[in-house]
């Protein structure tokens, strides 16, 4: 009792702070540090089942898992997943972001029906992708058939990519428009007033005033898009069923999810050039993750730095 | 000098082209929904007949000779069928434990009611954990300014800026090792993270509040815990509820995470995805039934959006809520 009385206000505050942050910090160590460290460790491990037991024999694999991943990536049609991921990212970043900016500008300028369109553009954020995909898939397959076939355009791997890309761009406007409109709303009105008094037209105002003023938001979008490059599943999980997606349509994000869902520490059939229908083990998938992170992390830091240099607000 | 009262501009060719694009985009969205609702109200026979695909539901297709013995007939026949058939029961097994490995023989099991309960546990409580933790840490780091809180702030910025890809196999393996895989507690703990954007929002909000409240309460003998839960957290309830709603909607719609981390506790989205898309050979493998299942799944979230659309579309800025 005597001891507590002698504690100063600062000491009490420090003890309380220390006790309170200990639980979140412990969770951070468990669910962030341990999991990510384990990814790196697993990438260098090889697991084997032990006959008659549920345990595994673990050995050091060196760079064997990385080699298998590279072999898989450039085997047969698998390189399409790399190409599709980059194409999807490029279109989202160029066409997707540009259209989002233009739509946001329309809403921001409070043009005809702006409030209504703001709600409509936001709707795909709320309504499950599952619903949107199935409605789109059914309508498109019913209306547009693949060339020389009775099947819908989405059932043929040679014709399905373009409509799936369109769908992803179309729904991608949802979240972006709201955030970009909000960034535009924070622009000082007097700058625009001065421009309008000087007779600047709406297109020039967008390019020479609005865009430079929201550059920090756009930088964030671009940097975050780099992280999405190898994570975006292109909604393929909802476009196709358990029998999977044709190799020509896959993205790396989709491949990683599907493999983790269907594989194990030691898969029933291990992927190799002689068993291409097999699966990568969790160790190999971890190696894949480490390889991707090794590309994406420096790339996103580099792009952020470059965009900050180009940002007129920073200068 | 001409006075410009607001940001509004006059309609011109540039805006007219954008308006046209917006109208087309909106029209596509409405077409999809109307088409979907129309299909869900029709008999499978009417939908299979391509010349009838865009027609309105016709009750004659629910009766003989088009249908032998439908379980339910009429425009809501598919919905009633779905209510009865939308369930899952499949075996599922995985190995847990760090040193003493054990095989868990579980089942992927659930009907609409059970899965609704699982959804409340996953999305309702999960979103609560995912909202509370950044608020809690945001409060601590903003109100207790010391070296540790500065390090935590820098750590959050670093984690947000560092995109790590491909940690899911490790996460699954880790959760199995600590025997929290396929449990709600494990999922709530995994969601209780503060290294995200919401931490920055709460941090900025609490930092903007006066420390006078806390000093006055301390003089009156209030404990640090009372100051946090009775004074400051109630002030942040508006942001808390907005963040909670956003996360809740995202969790409600998410089926990929429950499939991966809660395989034998299917949420509604997991159930609907599994039965309408993944399990393509199942008895709901008809466009009519699938559409009905998807519409049932969409209704609660549309109701939530109609009630809370302003809050959901609000802009969370670093310092509060901006409408």
Which residue from A102, A126, A256 is facing B18, i.e. has the nearest CB?
A: A102
For residue B263, the model assigns a pLDDT of 94
B32 and A135 in contact by Cβ < 8 A? yes
A126 and B312 in contact by Cβ < 8 A? yes
For residue B6, the model assigns a pLDDT of 59
What is the assigned CATH class of domain B88-322?
mainly alpha
Residue B12: CB atoms within 10 Å:
12
User: Contacts for A302-309 with beta carbons within 8 Å, 24 or more apart?
Assistant: A303/A222, A303/A223, A303/A226, A304/A219, A304/A223, A304/B161, A307/A215, A307/A218, A307/A219, A307/A222, A307/A223, A308/A219
Q: 3-class SS at A33?
A: helix
Residue carrying the six token digits 């000082």 = A188
Residue carrying the six token digits 């809690």 = B136
For residue B3, the model assigns a pLDDT of 47
Average pLDDT, chain B: 88
Which residue from A36, A105, A196 is facing B4, i.e. has the nearest CB?
A: A196
* pLDDT at residue B321 is higher than 60: no
* pLDDT at residue B151 is higher than 90: yes
Sign of the Cα torsion A267, A270, A276, A277 reads negative
A111 and B276 in contact by Cβ < 8 A? no
* pLDDT at residue A2 is higher than 60: no
pLDDT tens digits, A276-306: 889 999 999 999 999 999 999 999 999 989 9
**Which chain B residues are Cβ-neighbours of A202 within 8 angstroms?**
9, 12, 14-15
Instruction: Give the DSSP per-residue string, A236-278.
Output: HHHHS-TT---TTT--HHHHHHHHHHH--SS-SSB-BTTBTTS
d(CA B262, CA B92): 11
Residue carrying the six token digits 């756009």 = A218
Nearest CA in chain A to B14: A203
A197 and B291 in contact by Cβ < 8 A? no
* pLDDT at residue B117 is higher than 90: yes
Task: State the pLDDT confidence band at B218, using cuts at 50, 70 and 90.
Answer: confident
Task: State the pLDDT confidence band at B1, using cuts at 50, 70 and 90.
Answer: very low
Q: At B231, phi and psi to the nearest 5?
A: -110, -60
Mean pLDDT of A94-123: 92
B32 and A256 in contact by Cβ < 8 A? no
Mean pLDDT of B56-79: 77
Domains of chain A: 74-262 (1.10.3720.10)
Mean pLDDT of A6-17: 85
Percent of chain A clearing pLDDT 90 (strictly above): 54
- Residue B221 DSSP code: T
* A275 reaches B (C-beta below 8 A): no
Which residue from A54, A112, A121 is facing B11, i.e. has the nearest CB?
A: A112
For residue B165, the model assigns a pLDDT of 86
For residue B62, the model assigns a pLDDT of 75
Which residue from A138, A189, A260 is facing B7, i.e. has the nearest CB?
A: A189
Q: Write down the domain spans for chain B.
A: 13-75, 88-322
Determine which helix (DSSP H) or strand (DSSP E) holds A207, and give its type and residue range.
Answer: none
Residues 83-142 on A with a CB inside 8 Å of B are 99, 102-103, 105-106, 108-113, 117-132, 134-136, 138-139, 142
Task: State the pLDDT confidence band at B269, using cuts at 50, 70 and 90.
Answer: very high
Q: Using CB atoms within 10 Å of the CB of residue B67, give its burial: 0 to 12 exposed, 13 to 18 middle, 19+ buried.
A: middle
- Helices A97-108/A157-185 angle, 10° precision: 40
d(CA B165, CA B169): 11
For residue B318, the model assigns a pLDDT of 53
């Amino acid at each position: 009792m005597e001891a507590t009385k002698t504690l100063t206000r600062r000491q009490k505050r420090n003890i309380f702070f220390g006790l309170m942050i200990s639980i979140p910090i412990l969770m951070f160590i468990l669910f962030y540090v341990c999991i990510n460290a384990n990814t790196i460790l697993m990438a260098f491990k090889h697991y084997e089942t032990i006959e008659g037991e549920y345990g595994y024999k673990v050995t050091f694999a060196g760079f064997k898992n990385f080699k298998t991943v590279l072999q898989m990536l450039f085997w047969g049609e698998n390189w399409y997943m790399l190409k599709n991921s980059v194409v999807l990212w490029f279109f989202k970043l160029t066409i997707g972001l540009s259209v989002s900016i233009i739509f946001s500008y329309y809403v921001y300028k409070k043009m005809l029906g702006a409030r209504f369109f703001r709600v409509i553009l936001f709707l795909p954020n709320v309504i499950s992708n599952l619903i949107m995909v199935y409605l789109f898939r059914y309508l498109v397959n019913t209306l547009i058939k693949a060339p020389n076939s009775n099947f819908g355009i989405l059932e043929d791997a040679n014709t399905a990519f373009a409509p799936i890309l369109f769908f992803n761009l179309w729904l991608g406007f949802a979240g972006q428009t709201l955030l970009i409109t909000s960034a535009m709303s924070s622009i000082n009105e007097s700058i625009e007033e001065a421009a309008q008094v000087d007779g600047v037209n709406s297109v020039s105002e967008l390019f020479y005033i609005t865009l430079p003023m929201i550059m920090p938001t756009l930088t964030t979008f671009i940097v975050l898009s780099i992280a999405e490059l190898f994570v975006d599943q292109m909604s393929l999980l909802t476009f196709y069923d358990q029998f999977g997606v044709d190799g020509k349509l896959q993205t790396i994000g989709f491949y990683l999810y599907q493999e983790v869902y269907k594989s194990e520490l030691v898969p029933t059939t291990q992927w190799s050039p002689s068993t291409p229908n097999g699966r990568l083990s969790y160790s190999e998938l971890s190696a894949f993750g480490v390889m991707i992170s090794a590309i994406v992390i420096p790339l996103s830091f580099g792009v952020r730095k470059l965009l900050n240099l180009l940002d007129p607000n920073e200068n | 000098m001409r006075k410009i009262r607001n940001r509004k501009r006059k309609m011109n060719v540039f805006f007219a082209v954008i308006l046209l694009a917006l109208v087309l985009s909106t029209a596509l969205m409405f077409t999809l929904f109307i088409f979907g609702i129309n299909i869900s109200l029709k008999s499978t026979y009417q939908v299979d007949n391509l010349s009838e695909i865009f027609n309105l539901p016709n009750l004659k297709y629910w009766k003989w000779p088009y249908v032998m013995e439908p379980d339910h007939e009429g425009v809501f026949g598919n919905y009633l069928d779905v209510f009865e058939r939308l369930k899952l029961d499949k075996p599922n097994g995985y190995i847990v434990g760090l040193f003493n490995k054990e095989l868990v023989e579980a089942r992927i099991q659930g009907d609409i009611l059970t899965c609704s309960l699982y959804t409340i546990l996953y999305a309702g409580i999960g979103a609560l954990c995912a909202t509370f933790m950044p608020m809690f840490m945001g409060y601590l780091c903003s109100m207790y300014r010391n070296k540790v809180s500065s390090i935590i702030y820098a750590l959050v910025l670093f984690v947000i800026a560092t995109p790590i890809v491909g940690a899911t196999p490790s996460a699954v393996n880790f959760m199995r090792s600590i025997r929290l895989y396929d449990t709600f507690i494990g999922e709530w703990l995994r969601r209780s993270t503060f290294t995200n954007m919401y931490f920055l929002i709460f941090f900025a909000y609490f930092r903007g509040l006066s420390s006078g409240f806390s000093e006055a309460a301390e003089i009156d003998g209030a404990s640090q815990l009372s100051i946090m839960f009775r004074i400051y957290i109630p002030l942040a309830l508006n942001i808390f509820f907005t963040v909670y709603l956003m996360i809740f909607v995202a969790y409600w719609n998410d089926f990929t995470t429950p499939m991966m981390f809660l395989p034998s506790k299917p949420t509604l989205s997991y159930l609907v995805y599994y039965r309408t898309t993944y399990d393509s050979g199942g008895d709901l493998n008809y466009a009519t039934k699938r559409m009905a299942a998807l519409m049932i799944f969409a209704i609660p979230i549309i109701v939530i959006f109609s009630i809370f659309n302003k809050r959901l579309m609000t802009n969370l800025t670093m310092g509060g809520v901006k409408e």
